[in-house]
Structure 1
């Protein structure tokens, strides 16, 4: 019975962590007023490759005329990936 409670607590913590940080990351890529939000850039950097690429493409669609934030720039740092 005790092991079930430990597993339940672990699952709740993992889900809460995912919702909290995943939600904050999504708000950055989908709704941020600027692509240069430091927390958003950091969270985007921690995302797995496909999610990070999707986030960069979403940011590019919204801020195409601005320089890309760190992690979304090409080799020269001035073009979007």
Structure 2
């Protein structure tokens, strides 16, 4: 029984690392601004991290409409 909690922690840590790297790839090296997985991961991030990600996306895609999580209430302005 003592191995089960350790395995759960290891799986959780690996999942967090994989999701974090997927998010980082989306905001820094994305080919498409509207990648559904990247948008979802970005919207789950805490506000300061999401803001940094949105700034990266805006720098990589100037003039594009912001994805969900990076737009103000009107949907056309970046955070």
TM-score (normalizing by structure 1): 0.86
Name the counterpart of 1:51. 49
RMSD after superposition: 1.3
- Residue 34 of structure 1 deviates from its aligned partner by 1.5
- Residue 8 of structure 1 deviates from its aligned partner by 2.0
TM-score (normalizing by structure 2): 0.88
Q: Which of residues 60, 66, 76 in structure 2 aligns to 1:62? A: 60
Q: Partners in 1 of 2:44 and 2:57 — Cα distance?
A: 16
Name the counterpart of 2:17. 19
Task: Provide structure 1 residue ranges, at least 5 long, that are not aligned to the other structure.
Answer: none
Q: Partners in 2 of 1:7 and 1:19 — Cα distance?
A: 18
Name the counterpart of 1:32. 30
Count how many residue pairs are aligned between Structure 1 and Structure 2: 79
